[in-house]
Amino acid sequence: MKTLVVGGAGYIGSVVTRLLIQDGHEVVVLDNCSTGHADSIPAGVRFVQADISAVGEVLAGADFDAVLHFAAKSLVGESVAHPSLYWHTNVIGSRALLDAITEHGVPRLVFSSTAAVYGEPDTFPITEDSPTKPTSTYGATKLAVDMMITNECAATELAAVSLRYFNVAGAAWGAGERHTTETHLIPIALDAVAGRRDKLNIYGDDWPTPDGTPIRDYVHVADLARAHVLALTAAHPGEHLICNLGNGNGFSVKQVIAEVERVTGLEMPVVSGPRRAGDPTRLVASADRARERLGWEPQHDLRQMVADAWEFSNSVAAQEPR
Ligand SMILES: NC(=O)c1ccc[n+]([C@@H]2O[C@H](COP(=O)([O-])OP(=O)(O)OC[C@H]3O[C@@H](n4cnc5c(N)ncnc54)[C@H](O)[C@@H]3O)[C@@H](O)[C@H]2O)c1
Ligand SMILES: O=c1ccn([C@@H]2O[C@H](COP(=O)(O)OP(=O)(O)O[C@H]3O[C@H](CO)[C@@H](O)[C@H](O)[C@H]3O)[C@@H](O)[C@H]2O)c(=O)[nH]1
């Protein structure tokens, strides 16, 4: 397929771009490099450095078969502090993209949705039919985009898949997480054991969980990438298919810290601080629908995610000493 990867210079988009190429698809990347890096895009891929609002210029007359849409602001804490940035980038940006897709007749869309749309669920595991009550601005904006896509599919022949990722981790095919402002647990924990950071701050140890720290479902970025390739052909025209992507296992912050210490053989300097605004207590996925509709099966466990992220973070640190 001829694909446009919007946000392909970012963490997940750059990994998916590599898999699309390996599988023989043609890829064009559009990204404004606000949080991504141009050098994360593999050699030979056409790169348009532009804001998402300019996507129509890339789609015009180009006969794309599919758009994969990763471009977004995606930090829970930042979204609570700066709602306008999130509504503009995520919702107005996605509206421009949907309008361009419809205008230029692109038949397929794969969208990066999130577990953050569910908020604080009462029952586990979380299915796609669980109530959507986001606790952060970020989750609210992603839910709004999912709703726009549902409406667009009902009114056109667009075949769309929203993939609701749980916590993505690990590295694959030479690409991984290298955010300038890093807020994610595993890369911060790896920097803390490596001495690239003073310590890891646990955001609250008084949550209603067995060890007092929040629980998340971690999924390897290589497994996630495979789901995107499968999603390209999963929906029929006019359908909006929504699938959770997670391993179905919950790990607390303290359990992740212990895994990082086991994999690296190093001890982590840790302090406990206040809770972070917008954080839910527990997020654990049911990915049964992804199994049924995409034929997807995650292959990697938390240990492999930490090991691959560790190798990647060390290679980045060797090239870009802080
Ligand atoms: N990382 C996770 O655990 C996770 C979990 C659930 C959902 N998601 C979603 O997956 C997607 C990718 O996440 P990521 O971790 O790779 O983030 P990322 O920040 O590394 O990648 C996002 C990319 O989009 C680009 N971008 C942002 N705004 C843009 C704009 N206005 N125009 C053009 N490009 C723009 C950025 O420069 C960046 O390259 C996001 O939509 C995010 O909400 C991520
Ligand atoms: O320095 C840190 C960083 C994180 N945490 C905790 O670790 C857990 C995981 O946090 P993080 O890695 O920042 O991920 P989330 O906030 O859970 O959000 C990620 O996962 C969501 C889906 O579950 C996605 O929607 C988001 O885009 C993505 O950033 C949370 O309980 C945090 O409070 C800490 O205690 N200290």
Pairing of strands 215-216, 251-252: antiparallel
Task: List, for residues 198-231, the tens digit of each pLDDT value.
Answer: 999 999 999 999 999 999 999 999 999 999 999 9
Ligand 2 atom at shortest distance from the alpha carbon of 188: 1
> Is the per-residue pLDDT at 88 higher than 80?
yes
The CA 78 to ligand 2 mean position distance, Å, reads 12
- Pick the residue whose CA is nearest to atom 31 on ligand 2: 214
The larger pLDDT score, comparing residue 76 to residue 140, is at: 140
CA 111 – ligand 2 centroid, Å: 20
Question: In whole angstroms, what separates CA 142 from the centre of its chain?
Answer: 11
Confidence of residue 319 (pLDDT cuts 50, 70, 90): confident
Using the atom order of ligand 2, give the atom closest to the CA of residue 77.
16
CATH class of 177-215+249-283+302-315: alpha beta
The answer to ipTM > 0.90 is yes
Question: How far, in Å, is the centroid of ligand 1 from the Cα of 40?
Answer: 13
pLDDT band per the 50, 70, 90 thresholds, residue 67: very high
* Assigned CATH topology for domain 2-171+218-246+288-294: Rossmann fold (3.40.50)
Judged against a pLDDT cut of 90, whether residue 197 lies above it is answered with yes
Domain extents in the chain: 2-171+218-246+288-294, 177-215+249-283+302-315
Q: Which residue from 79, 90, 9 is spatially nearest to 45, judged by alpha carbons?
A: 9
The ligand minimizing its distance to the Cα of 216 is 2
Atom of ligand 2 nearest to the CA of 204: 35
Atom of ligand 2 at shortest range from CA of 203? 35
Q: Are 171 and 311 in contact (CB under 8 A)?
A: yes
Percent of the chain with pLDDT strictly greater than 90: 95
User: Residue 74 C-alpha to ligand 1 middle, in angstroms?
Assistant: 6
Determine whether the shortest distance from the Cβ of 201 to ligand 2 is under 6 A.
Answer: yes
253 in contact with ligand 2, CB cutoff 6 A = yes
Whole-number average pLDDT of the chain:
97
Q: Residue 280 has what pLDDT?
A: 92
**Distances from the Cα of 219 to the Cα of 105, 169, 241, 246, 300, angstroms:** 33, 6, 20, 5, 8
Question: What's the whole-number mean pLDDT along residues 266-289?
Answer: 96
Which residue, among 17, 304, 316, 47, has the nearest Cα to 177 in the 3D structure? 316
pTM for this prediction: 0.98
- Which residue among 118, 138, 165, 218 is the active-site one? 138
Burial of 30 (0-12, 13-18, 19+ CB in 10 A): buried
Which protein residue has the closest C-alpha to ligand 2 atom 12? Answer: 184
Using a pLDDT cut of 70, give the percent of the chain over it.
99
Mean pLDDT score, 300-316 = 97
What pLDDT digit, counting tens, does each position of 12-22 carry? 999 999 999 99
Q: Which residues does ligand 1 sit against, CB inside 6 Å?
A: 7, 9-13, 31-36, 51-52, 70-72, 74, 89, 93, 112, 114, 165, 167-168, 179
pLDDT attached to residue 322: 55
* Rounded CA separation 301/43 (Å): 30
- Amino acid identity of residue 284, one-letter, is V
118 labelled catalytic: no
